[in-house]
């Protein structure tokens, strides 16, 4: 039995994602595909467009065999920590043979070369990086200069570090190398639009383009060309019932959480130093909505995405102490199932036999299976989902009992 792993957000699921699952299985000759997917909040520092169960169902109906939730503390982290969390989870399942990811580069050997250089920073790299940062260059500029100094053979290829999927792919490779993983990395060259392209013209458009289309014009006819038919049907049934959710739907909750913590500041949260904490306090009286506040806070060296992730850490009570504790105690402590294909029962049996962490299908069983640190991590995941479901219920009022805000009663998806 061969199994390929994919790390994803599917925000939302589109043709490019279906293509990746299909190609991943073909390239690795895999019998099964396990997806580790961000839950209700995603890495760019925003709520997911639609909830994790709907996105999991879209994946399962397009070739995935098992969808597991990436803990929210990693889903809302930098590319490096995001990759470490996902790779740790895949490693501990004990059945994953390959990790397949999309990249603009499409050359796994070149990506691995960059990963080795960035994982094992030479004295020349560190010295050059420090010097470039001190003179005011951004981290990407400083990193490129450091690479050119320490690894001249990569100088001709440093432009690939400007592409988001290449950067994340390198972080997956670094995480595999650092953990001495037996999982083999492979990459599918990204087809169609670029990550930041907001046009729907290409057959393989970006998730950003779909989100922008829904934000500006609602469910447009153009989406039918971008989303697999089976997924589009699910989305049409749920439209204006449970999605779309946008960043500004968090505005009041984020404002409240910042007001609640203003007396102590925010330096206990990841990526918030005293300078940013003071900046938050300075601009808090001008707070209007989530997105405009992130724009007010960003600077040359602090991107919008980094700011938005930091504010969501405050909202969800994810602290630096939490992340340090997780790293010290094992990084990931459970594999929470969001859904699976019933035809994948041999895969589930294999995981249960080989996994180093509990495979959670029922939250009610967690207390018996997890130690204190694992329970703390899981409680953060549950809290994040309850926050998200509360937004959905407020935005799309319904008397349907299935809209109840209770993760413990949410059934996993079975196909």
Q: How confident is the model at residue 117 (pLDDT cuts 50, 70, 90)?
A: very high
Mean pLDDT of 255-281: 96
- 61 vs 141, which has greater pLDDT? 61
pLDDT at 215: 76
**3-105+187-245+331-414 maps to CATH 3.40.50:** yes
pLDDT at 221: 62
pLDDT at 101: 98
pLDDT at 198: 54
Name the residue among 16, 18, 59, 62 with its Cα closest to residue 203. Answer: 16
Name the residue among 55, 19, 66 with its Cα closest to residue 188. Answer: 19
Q: How confident is the model at residue 181 (pLDDT cuts 50, 70, 90)?
A: very high
> What is the value of pTM for the model shown?
0.94
CATH 3.40.50 domain range(s) in the chain: 3-105+187-245+331-414
pLDDT at 208: 85
Name the residue among 277, 288, 222 with its Cα closest to residue 255. Answer: 288
Q: How confident is the model at residue 202 (pLDDT cuts 50, 70, 90)?
A: low
pLDDT at 67: 98
pLDDT at 239: 93
pLDDT at 197: 53
pLDDT at 9: 98
Q: How confident is the model at residue 34 (pLDDT cuts 50, 70, 90)?
A: very high
Instruction: Round to whole Å and give the CA distance between 2 and 300.
Output: 46
pLDDT averaged over the chain? 93
**Tokens coding 115:** 């990963």
pLDDT at 93: 98
Least-confidence region, from 26-30, 163-167, 211-215, 333-337: 211-215
pLDDT at 98 over 70: yes
Do residues 370 and 358 lie in contact, with contact meaning Cβ atoms separated by under 8 Å? yes
pLDDT at 123 over 70: yes
pLDDT at 196 over 70: no
pLDDT at 195 over 60: no
Give the percent of the chain with pLDDT over 70.
Answer: 95
Instruction: Round to whole Å and give the CA distance between 311 and 256.
Output: 11
CA dihedral defined by 220, 224, 227, 232, rounded to 10 degrees?
Answer: 80
pLDDT at 347 over 80: yes
Do residues 36 and 357 lie in contact, with contact meaning Cβ atoms separated by under 8 Å? no
Give the percent of the chain with pLDDT over 90.
Answer: 83
pLDDT at 199: 55
What is the CB neighbour count within 10 angstroms for residue 230?
14
């Amino acid at each position: 039995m061969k199994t390929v792993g994919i790390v994803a957000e599917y925000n939302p699921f589109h043709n490019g994602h279906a293509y990746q699952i299909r190609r991943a299985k073909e390239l690795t000759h895999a019998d099964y595909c396990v997806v580790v997917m961000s839950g209700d909040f995603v890495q760019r520092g925003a709520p997911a467009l639609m909830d994790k169960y709907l996105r999991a169902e879209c994946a399962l109906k397009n070739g995935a065999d098992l969808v597991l939730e990436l803990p929210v503390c990693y889903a809302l982290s930098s590319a490096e920590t995001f990759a470490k969390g996902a790779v740790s989870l895949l490693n501990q399942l004990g059945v994953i043979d390959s990790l397949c990811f999309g990249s603009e580069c499409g050359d796994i050997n070149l990506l691995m070369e960059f990963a080795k250089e960035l994982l094992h920073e030479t004295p020349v790299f560190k010295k050059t990086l420090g010097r470039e940062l001190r003179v005011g260059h951004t981290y990407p500029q400083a990193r490129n200069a450091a690479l050119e100094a320490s690894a001249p053979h990569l100088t001709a290829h440093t432009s690939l570090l400007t592409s988001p999927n290449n950067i994340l792919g390198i972080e997956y490779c670094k995480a595999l190398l650092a953990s001495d993983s037996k999982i083999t990395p492979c990459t599918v060259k990204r087809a169609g639009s670029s990550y930041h392209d907001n046009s729907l013209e290409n057959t393989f458009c970006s998730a950003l383009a779909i989100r922008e289309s829904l934000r500006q014009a609602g469910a447009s006819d153009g989406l039918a060309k971008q989303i697999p038919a089976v997924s589009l049907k699910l989305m049409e049934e749920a439209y204006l019932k449970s999605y779309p959710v946008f960043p500004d739907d968090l505005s009041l909750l984020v404002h409240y959480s910042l007001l609640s913590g203003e007396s102590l500041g925010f330096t206990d949260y990841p990526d918030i130093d005293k300078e940013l904490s003071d900046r938050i306090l300075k601009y808090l009286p001008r707070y209007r909505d989530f997105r405009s506040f992130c724009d007010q806070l960003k600077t040359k060296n602090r991107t919008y995405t980094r700011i938005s992730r930091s504010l969501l850490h405050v909202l969800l009570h994810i602290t630096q102490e939490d992340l340090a504790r997780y790293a010290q105690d094992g990084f990931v402590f459970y594999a929470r199932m969001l859904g699976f294909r019933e035809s994948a029962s041999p895969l589930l049996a294999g995981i249960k036999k080989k996994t180093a962490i509990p495979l959670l299908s029922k939250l009610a069983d967690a207390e018996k299976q997890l130690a204190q640190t694992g329970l703390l991590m899981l409680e953060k995941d549950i809290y994040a989902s309850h926050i998200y479901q509360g937004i959905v219920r407020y935005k799309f009022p319904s008397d349907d009992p299935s809209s109840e805000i209770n993760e413990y009663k949410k059934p996993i998806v079975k196909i």
